[in-house]
Structure 1
Amino acid sequence: MSHGVPRVAVGEKTEASRRKELKQIEAYQGLVDNVQAKIKAEEYTAETLSLTSALLSQNPEYYTIWNHRRLVLQHVFAKEIHSPPAEDAESKPPPGLTPAQHEITLLIREDLAFLLPLLKQFPKCYWVWNHRAWLLQQASQYLPVTSAKHLWLEEMALVSKMLSYDSRNFHGWTYRREVVKSIELLSAQEQLSALELDDKKEEKKEKKPDQSMTESEFAYTTKMINTNLSNFSAWHNRLQLIPKLLKERNADPAARRKFLDDEFELIITALYTDPVDQSLWFYYNYLMTNLSPKTSPELRIVADLTNKHRIDYLDTQFDLLKDMLEDNKDCKWIYLALVTYTPEYLEIDAGNKKITTLELSEWLDQLDQLDPLRKGRWLDLRKSLNL
């Protein structure tokens, strides 16, 4: 199993299966040679496109063939744009599209449909995701804003569905960020065009706010985290959204401090649920860096923390970590957090009695036992703490 997706077991091959495989290899190599020859001859035709489809259906990791496919499609798109419309066209294009744009839309949709079975079968294949992004970028280049945006919105629905099947697929999360960025850009262009049209009509309308998806995407990370706490990609996406989210909210210091408190509450609740989940500690460490005076103010959730504020936060966190340790004596990550943030704690409040030398030494002893492969690291920590 990988992220809940079953792997297919491979059994021993019989002589008959070996012969069959050899024939398949010969046919595959012949297909490769055929495609390469046609590309070399610059035969950017429907036949060449069909041959790349056959080849990529067998091996979607063959990135060179994806490049060849894009060459063919680029040629077809350019040909459509520069060709005069056919006078005997059976049907007129939809409103707002030229005949060439309509044909390009159909070609893009057809290629997106070709990719869908591959995406279902190979959800971790980078090249399939990459080609989908390229197709939609062509839509943004060749089609009117509204038409291109419609395709991107459909893609947003698709990637949400894919992530519902495998919520930790980092390819899907990376792709989702690209889709969101494109939708926001097209929405801004759409809004600008509408404002320019209003100016021409001399209509004075109140300007609409920017079409940011930050709030909805932040809510989406919450939904995915609540579905599965062990979703590193969701936590990662969440922390990437936070600076933009707070900026768009025009959050004042009080709102930022409440936000930090709420995020600490969220992650602590998650850690009590599953303290051995490394993805949770990743996000916890991100929040803890917000307490460090060494962290750039631009990167902090709360930029104006005083040392008193930091001590209050650290007091609370150390109490919680020690409490968590009571029922999880063999959890390396709790000891690591305690040891990691002790130097910073002592740097801010050297005379505090929250941490004793005996406790610190015991935590390092536990790390020696639980993670002996990093014995050198624990030794360096002892030296830095004068233990």
Structure 2
Amino acid sequence: MSHNVKRLTAEKRAEKRRENEERANRYKELSGVTMSMRASGQFDQGALDACSRAVRMNPDMATLWNFRRGVLKRMHPDGDDDPMGARRQACEAELDLTQECLGLNPKSYPVWFHRQWVIEWGRCSWQWARELKLTAKLLALDDRNFHCWTYRRFVAKVAGESADAELNFTTSKIEQNFSNYSAWHYRSKLLPAIFGTVDDAASAGAIGGELRARLLEELQLVRNAFFTAPEDSSAWFYHRWVLAKLDAIDAAGAPPSDVRRPSPEHTAVLSDELAMIEDLLELEPESKWPLAAAVFLGKALAVVRPGSDERVSEHLRSLQRVDPTRVQYYAHLLDTVTSSALS
């Protein structure tokens, strides 16, 4: 019986190999026909049909999509009145094709690029709401598909989707899975769009107050991520961004002489965050990202909190142990901490 199983497995492998070879030969034939049309200057429906057959077999071939865009622009030049809605029909056909190809590879950059081009080229305002629903559906299947996130940001912008609505969308995705770089990154773009930015002292005031209050709320969101998945780096990077924005707000009115010293308000924030991370390290003493954050916060507070260098050094020695690939980097930081303590 075991011999039969082995033979059947070998036969299946051979059959699969033949199928792959046949598919590769078929794709080579289809793409060759399409490229021949391109070389001969055939920019018509026949070229589109040939290209469709090829990209359905391999949607990742950017050259085919480039040719396709050239054909579409030749068949539907800018400036045409388009009384019969031919360009809209062409756009709908392209959207159907790209959606089919995304079913084969949801992370195909050439497909996403072509879909965005179609939306812009065809000025497809009728399609915007459907595109947002499509991205929500695909992100429900894979919430870390950064090509889909990039496309969603584009659609939300051209559609005039409110930043508040998009912020709520990122919140829902983050609460489902804290390990989501794209959602955290999008959030860092949306908050300034809603609450304004603080680039200098003159822009503090009311804008700074509203943004500061919201950023303090963001610290609570990342705390939930830290205690749920301390080894995931995405929330830690966002945490650093939030602290940098808070520092900019709190330092907006500080005298130039105090530029390297955290303000009393920011010192309080840093102290609270360090205390929280020290609590986390009681639970996860060998976790890299909490250790790295404790080093960052400890060094930032060293200016106003003498004697914190010893604790920073302890964390750096722990990092040398838990993250040996960067042992020399941590050794360099240890040297700088020791030097500053002696000076």
TM-score bucket (shorter structure): 0.7 to 0.9
2:231 to 265, 270, 276: 276
Determine the structure 2 residue equivalent to 1:44.
Answer: 43
Alignment CA distance shift 1:343-1:109 (3 Å): same
Determine the structure 2 residue equivalent to 1:386.
Answer: 338
Q: Tell me the amino acid that sits aligned with residue 228 of structure 1.
A: N
Q: Tell me the amino acid that sits aligned with residue 259 of structure 1.
A: R
In structure 2, how many angstroms separate the alpha carbons of the residues matched to 1:125 and 1:333? 31
CA contact (8 A) 1:260 1:301 kept: no
Determine the structure 2 residue equivalent to 1:195.
Answer: none
Provide structure 2 residue ranges, at least 5 long, that are not aligned to the other structure: 1-8, 198-204, 255-261
Determine the structure 1 residue equivalent to 2:209.
Answer: 254
Q: Shift of residue 46 of structure 1?
A: 1.5
Determine the structure 1 residue equivalent to 2:186.
Answer: 237
Task: Show the 5 A alignment for 1:283-298.
Answer: 283-292=238-247, 297=248
> 2:171 aligned with 1:222, yes or no?
yes
Q: Determine what percentage of the aligned residue pairs are the same residue.
A: 28
In structure 2, how many angstroms separate the alpha carbons of the residues matched to 1:79 and 1:256? 44
In structure 2, how many angstroms separate the alpha carbons of the residues matched to 1:120 and 1:303? 49
Q: Tell me the amino acid that sits aligned with residue 115 of structure 1.
A: T
Alignment CA distance shift 1:119-1:346 (3 Å): same
In structure 2, how many angstroms separate the alpha carbons of the residues matched to 1:309 and 1:375? 34
In structure 2, how many angstroms separate the alpha carbons of the residues matched to 1:215 and 1:291? 20
Alignment CA distance shift 1:302-1:226 (3 Å): farther
TM-score scaled to structure 2, two decimals?
0.85
Alignment CA distance shift 1:121-1:356 (3 Å): same
Q: Tell me the amino acid that sits aligned with residue 83 of structure 2.
A: P
> 2:63 aligned with 1:114, yes or no?
no
In structure 1, how many angstroms separate the alpha carbons of the residues matched to 2:88 and 2:139? 26
In structure 2, how many angstroms separate the alpha carbons of the residues matched to 1:325 and 1:360? 13
Determine the structure 2 residue equivalent to 1:156.
Answer: 132
TM-superposition CA deviations, 1:157-209 (whole Å, max 9, x none): 2112111111110001111111112112xxxxxxxxxxxxxxxxxxxxxxxxx
In structure 2, how many angstroms separate the alpha carbons of the residues matched to 1:221 and 1:18? 43
Determine the structure 1 residue equivalent to 2:222.
Answer: 267
2:267 to 311, 315, 318: 311
SS class of match (2:226):
helix
Number of aligned positions between the proteins:
317
Determine the structure 2 residue equivalent to 1:144.
Answer: none
TM-superposition CA deviations, 1:300-320 (whole Å, max 9, x none): 598457611121111111111
Root-mean-square deviation over aligned CA pairs: 2.5
> 2:167 aligned with 1:167, yes or no?
no
Q: Shift of residue 368 of structure 1?
A: 1.4
In structure 1, how many angstroms separate the alpha carbons of the residues matched to 2:182 and 2:35? 38
Determine the structure 2 residue equivalent to 1:70.
Answer: 69
SS class of match (2:144):
coil
Determine the structure 2 residue equivalent to 1:200.
Answer: none
Structure 1 runs (4+) greater than 6 angstroms displaced: 10-13
Q: Shift of residue 11 of structure 1?
A: 8.8
Determine the structure 2 residue equivalent to 1:193.
Answer: none
In structure 1, how many angstroms separate the alpha carbons of the residues matched to 2:86 and 2:184? 41
Provide structure 1 residue ranges, at least 5 long, that are not aligned to the other structure: 1-9, 83-97, 141-147, 185-211
TM-score scaled to structure 1, two decimals?
0.75
Determine the structure 1 residue equivalent to 2:296.
Answer: 340
Q: Which is further off, 359-368 or 121-130?
A: 359-368
